Amino acid sequence: MANVRLKRVESLLREEIGSLILREEIKDPRVDTMVSVSGVSVSRDLEHARIRVSGFKQRQELESAVEGLNHAAGFIQGRIGRKLKLRATPRLNFVVDHSIEEGFEVNRAVDDANRVAARE
């Protein structure tokens, strides 16, 4: 039962943070709508949440956006606390998720391997 609650809280956090980003309610200029929440992991005691952030940005710009999100974590946490009505809102920690970039690199490597195989 506890696992179901964790998944529900993770889903709600992902939706709410994504919505704040899309509605541009986070006023930090480093955070824009090209940034998205790719995943959320909440600790079993609901004290901490690790939010993975990805986007179609250069590596340095994405890291800067994550810094902006961490800077605005208190504001975001307050907004989420009012919206979700949890006993305690998890402490938010934003981290860079390079999975989109890594996926493009894998696709590029597969395409290159296919071109080499086609020439032989």
Q: What is the amino acid identity at position 114? A: N
Q: Which of 54, 65, 66, 60 is nearest to 92 (CA)?
A: 66
Q: Which of 56, 53, 61, 13 is nearest to 37 (CA)?
A: 53
Give, as one character, the DSSP assignment of residue 46: S
Tell me the per-residue pLDDT of 62-115, one tens digit each, with 9 for 90 and over: 999 999 999 999 999 999 988 887 788 899 999 998 877 777 788 888 888 888
Residue type, 48: H
The predicted-structure confidence for 50-74, as pLDDT tens digits, reads as follows 999 998 888 899 999 999 999 999 9
Kindly tell me if the per-residue pLDDT of 118 is higher than 70. Answer: yes
pTM here? 0.80
CATH superfamily of 2-119: K homology (KH) domain (3.30.300.20)
Where do the structural domains in the chain lie, given as residue ranges?
Answer: 2-119
